[in-house]
Amino acid sequence: MPNHSPSANQHSIQGNFLKKQTLLVVLLWLLFLILSIRIFRPDSLYVTFDSDGAIPVLMANEERPVTVFDTYYWGVDRWGAWPLMIARAVHQATGFQWTDYKLHVVRSIWVFLGLLILVWINSRAALAVLVSCLIPLCLEPTIRWHLFNLSQVYAWQLTPLFFAWLSLRRLLAAELLSPAGKPTLVKRIVWCLGLYFGALFATWSSEASTLFLGFLLLLEASRSYFSQRDEPANKWKWARPLTAVLVLAAATISHMLMKANYHRHGIKHWGGDYKAPTWLDTGYLWQDVQGTWRNLMDFDFGPLLVVCGVFLLGVIFVLAYTVVTKKHLLRRSVIHFALQEDVTMIIGLAGVASINLVLMTVLSHVRLSDYSSRYLVPTFFLGAIAGLMSLYVMLRLLAHRLRLSRYLIPIAIVGAFLFLIVRFPRFELNDKYRVYKETAFALAQKAPGAVVMGGYWETYIFASLQQPTNTMTPLPLEGLQVRIPWTPPMLRNAREVVIEYRQNEILNRGALPVELTQYGNVLKLKDPQFYENGKYSFALYINERPQQVTPR
């Protein structure tokens, strides 16, 4: 009969536990992914669908070849469009037709993949990490609104940011050494590539990711150093963090070159660089602080940010106390506590949240956008996760002190999941979306292939909902923002032009003009009551002298 050592039995029990935990995590992850896809879709009350959200649908279904102009959300360089380039490649290669719902499904899966990466970063507390991510994602209105909204970039940004963080952790970790003590080259190359592409896609989505990644590099390098400095077999070397710095620098430079090329292309082909201007808002700092404060006060999960802040301040205070009083044993214990995966994750999430908070307070474009809460989504989401993880760590310490860890922690996690299930929203249809869909379908039937004009918010939205047949060409009235610069020349080819006149700021001031000049074309009124639905009214104009001009 084989003689199994206690150590072997212990490893076997631990392995079985990890397998069961992994299976449970995957099942719960899949359950809430399916619920989120069904309930937070574009036609629900929990998100919004408008012309900003319509642009990604139009980009994914565009028949023109991909150009440099498509590397960013059409007409603005602050929103990296690499997911939409991939979607268009799929469309053009297979004929697959994207809709707002299909993009929502892919976007939701992408967001949830980011949660799995965070679980991977802290696998010992996998269930606690998962529920800490799901509660703010699914229950907090502001976070939910923007992470499931097609017009926002954060869903695409955060997942590669988390993957770059994971790659940093692995690149700097001692496990990259083989049992013989030599570096495992294949692993190092894999995680270097993971770091490069994670950093590139995160920075491409939003340049703020550069600062986030710089902080995470400092955090992981510090963790690596303090974890390995007392282990002779895994002596810490500067080569690891230097490699990480070079990889991050390569990703950053790659993006800088890409954006410079985008600006050059815009000037050459469309007469504008499409820069989203921003600067340090030094003349309005107090006003900016007040705007940020109002957003923080409106955040439903604000107490979690306070919990996280108190937890970190407590750790910093104790560590400072050990330095001043020269209590080396206590300092060692505090450092050991801070190096635990739970605490390191809290520090990382809170640090990124804080950097974003400061950035969005001092940069001018936030004020120019009337202090929209969307700019604080990384602060809200990551800060809320850090707050819940802080509660988990404090509960774990208390349970350990009371010798109740075996019971208290599982009960708390089960209770958190039950709370999430009970409070999970039920689907509610958005009546506005129903009007959008009805209007888009009716216009496509009455004037297939025509140009639809009006205000910015009354053009792109209808064209995106008309996929895949009879799609109209969206074009805001002259003088309004145009996202697709090749559409004004296309007006010359159009015979019929449908204009929404009740909602836009140009034509809603008086009677409809019998003759209207737009982008050098003279349009004549044919039917002032072409179509009406709810708040929208459309008139039919005729371009009597269309010219067959091939758009660039």
Q: What counts of helices (H) and strands (E) characterise the chain?
A: 20, 6
Residue 183: per-residue pLDDT: 55
Structure tokens at 160: 């590669």
Q: Is residue 127 part of a domain?
A: yes
Domain check: are 340 and 461 in the same one? no
Q: Is residue 316 part of a domain?
A: yes
Residue 515: per-residue pLDDT: 93
Domain check: are 127 and 76 in the same one? yes
What's the gap between Cα 384 and its chain centre?
Answer: 16
Question: How does DSSP assign 491-507, residue by residue?
Answer: GGG-SEEEEE-SSSTTT
Domain check: are 49 and 165 in the same one? yes
Residue 548: per-residue pLDDT: 54
Q: Which residues pair with 229 in a beta bridge?
A: none
Contact assessment for residue 108 and residue 36, using Cβ atoms and an 8 Å cutoff: yes
Q: Is residue 82 part of a domain?
A: yes
Phi, psi of 500 (to 5 degrees): -85, 125
Domain check: are 32 and 102 in the same one? yes
What's the gap between Cα 155 and its chain centre?
Answer: 2
Q: Is residue 308 part of a domain?
A: yes
Domain check: are 54 and 186 in the same one? yes
Contact assessment for residue 193 and residue 169, using Cβ atoms and an 8 Å cutoff: no
What's the gap between Cα 368 and its chain centre?
Answer: 21
DSSP 3-state assignment of 542? strand
Starting at the edge strand found earlier in the chain, the sheet holding 515-518 runs 473-476, 451-454, 496-500, 536-543, 521-533, 515-518
Number of structural domains found in the chain = 2
**Mean pLDDT, the chain, whole residue set:** 91
Contact assessment for residue 278 and residue 364, using Cβ atoms and an 8 Å cutoff: yes
Structure tokens at 377: 């989504």
Domain check: are 405 and 436 in the same one? no
Domain check: are 303 and 163 in the same one? yes
Q: Which residue has the tokens 């019998």?
A: 514
76 vs 277: CA distance, rounded Å? 10
377 vs 160: CA distance, rounded Å? 16
Contact assessment for residue 265 and residue 271, using Cβ atoms and an 8 Å cutoff: no
142 vs 275: CA distance, rounded Å? 27
Q: Is residue 549 part of a domain?
A: no
Cα distances (Å, whole numbers) of residue 439 to 249, 430, 472:
49, 15, 12
Structure tokens at 312: 């970190």
Domain check: are 147 and 172 in the same one? yes
Q: Is residue 1 part of a domain?
A: no
Domain check: are 285 and 419 in the same one? yes
Determine the length of the chain.
Answer: 552
Cis peptide before 468 (omega within 30 of 0): yes
Structure tokens at 505: 């700021």
Domain check: are 436 and 417 in the same one? no
Structure tokens at 386: 């850090």
Domain end call among 392, 423, 454: 423
Domain check: are 189 and 318 in the same one? yes
Residue ranges of alpha helices (H) inside 72-140 are: 82-94, 100-121, 126-139
Q: Is residue 139 part of a domain?
A: yes
Residue 5: per-residue pLDDT: 53
Domain end call among 423, 447, 477: 423
Local confidence pLDDT in tens for the 552 residues of the chain = 445 555 666 656 666 777 888 999 999 999 999 999 999 999 999 999 999 999 999 999 999 999 999 999 999 999 999 999 999 999 999 999 999 999 999 999 999 999 999 999 999 999 999 999 999 999 999 999 999 999 999 999 999 999 999 999 999 885 544 444 455 788 889 999 999 999 999 999 999 999 999 999 999 999 988 887 766 555 667 888 999 999 999 999 999 999 999 999 999 999 999 998 889 999 999 999 999 999 999 999 999 999 999 999 998 898 888 888 888 888 888 888 888 999 999 999 999 999 999 999 999 999 999 999 999 999 999 999 999 999 999 999 999 888 888 889 999 999 999 999 999 999 999 999 999 999 999 999 999 999 999 999 999 999 999 877 778 999 999 999 999 999 999 999 999 999 999 887 778 767 889 999 999 999 999 999 999 998 999 999 999 876 654 444
What is the domain extent for residue 149?
6-423
H-helix or E-strand spanning residue 152 = none
Contact assessment for residue 308 and residue 386, using Cβ atoms and an 8 Å cutoff: yes
Domain check: are 292 and 240 in the same one? yes
With the C-alpha atoms ordered 191, 195, 198, 201, is the resulting torsion angle positive or negative? negative
Q: Is residue 551 part of a domain?
A: no
Domain end call among 387, 405, 423: 423
